[in-house]
Amino acid sequence: MPERLWQQRFARFVEDRRFSRTIIGLILVNAAVLGMETSPTLVAQYGPLLRTIDQAILAIFVVELALRIAAFRGRFFQDPWSLFDTAIVAIALVPANEAFSVLRALRVLRVLRLISAFPQLRKVLEGLVAAIPGLGSIGAVLAIFQYVFAVMAAKLFGQQYPELFGDLFVSLFTLFQIMTLDGWSEIVRRIDTTHPYAGVFFVSYILLSTFTVLNLLIAVMVNTIGGRAPDSDSDVTLEIRPYRRTVQTASIRSELKELNRKLDLILAQNKQQQVSITIPRDRK
C-alpha cells in the first residue's frame, strides 16, 4: 500500500499540466541554447554558460524520465512515445569524444521531444508512419517513371548533351532536377535548339512526375492523417497514454468497491428494520 501510494503521487505529479508545461519550456530553452552554440561569437563570449545550461537541462530530463519510470513501472516501456523520449535523452548521455563526434550534432534531436509533448503533433507523426505502405507504392510508381524517362532521355539526347544525359545515372540526376522544377526551362530551351520536339518530352515528364505522382503522395498523406483525426468527444480518450488510462482505471475500480461496500451496509440496515416492524392486517 505505501509503495502504491507513492506510485500514484508520482503519476499525479508527472501528469500535472504545470509539470508538462515546465518540460516544454525547458525543451524550447534547450533548442535556443543549441542554436546559439552554432555562433562562434556567442560561443566565445558565453560558451561555459551555454554548456552549463545544456547540461542542467539534460539532468532535468533524466530526472523526469526516472520519475515517470517510478510512477508507471512496466507500463512506461509499453508506450512508444515514452521510448521515443528515452532514446533521445540516451543519445545525449553518450560521451561525444572523437569516435562519437557526430553525437554532438545529434544533441539537437532533443527538440523532437516537442512532438511527444503535443497531441496534435503526435497525430501528424503517427499519420506519417501509417501512410508508409501507401507512400512506398506510389514511390515505386515514381521510380518506374524515372527509370523509363531516364533511359529514353539518354537515348535521345545523350550524344549531343553528355553532361546532362550521357549515361543512366547522369540522366536520372538531370530528370530529378527537372522534377523539382529547378531551372527546367533553361535545360529544355537549350535542348530544343537541336531537338524541336524535346519540349513535348519534358512537359509530359513533368506532368506525370511532378503534377500527378507527387500530388498522389500528398493525397495519401492527407487522407491518412485525416482518417486518424477524432470525430467525436468519445475519441478524445485516444489521446490518453496507456499508463495514464491504467491509473485512471485503478482509481475508478477503487471507487466502485467503496460504493458497493456502502450499498451492502444500507441493504443490511434495511433488512434489520423490516424484521423489527410488524405489518398490521387490513381492517374490514
Low-confidence ranges of the chain (pLDDT < 70): 1-3, 96-105, 227-251, 253, 270-284
The predicted structure's pLDDT at residue 170: 93
Task: Identify whether 71 is part of a domain.
Answer: yes
Instruction: Show the domain range for 14.
Output: 2-117
Task: Identify whether 15 is part of a domain.
Answer: yes
Are 221 and 127 spatial neighbours (Cβ–Cβ below 8 Å)? yes
Half-sphere exposure of 239 (CA within 13 A, CB side): 17
The predicted structure's pLDDT at residue 165: 92
What residue spans of 131-241 are helical by DSSP H?
Answer: 132-157, 162-165, 168-179, 184-192, 198-208, 214-227
The whole-angstrom separation of Cα 11 and Cα 6 is 9
DSSP 52-92: HHHHHHHHHHHHHHHHHHHHHGGGGGG-HHHHHHHHHHHHH
The predicted structure's pLDDT at residue 78: 86
Looking at 210, 227, 244, the residue that finishes a domain is 227
Residues 137 and 113 in one domain: no
DSSP-based three-state secondary structure for 1: coil
Half-sphere exposure of 57 (CA within 13 A, CB side): 24
- Cell numbers given for 95: 560521451
Residues 112 and 137 in one domain: no
Task: Identify whether 269 is part of a domain.
Answer: no
The answer to whether the predicted template modeling score (pTM) of the entire model surpasses 0.75 is no
Task: Identify whether 99 is part of a domain.
Answer: yes
Domain total in the chain: 2
pLDDT tens-digit map of 35-45: 898 898 998 99
Domain with residue 194: its CATH number is: 1.10.287.70
With CA atoms as reference, report the closest residue to 171 among 187, 185, 186.
Answer: 187
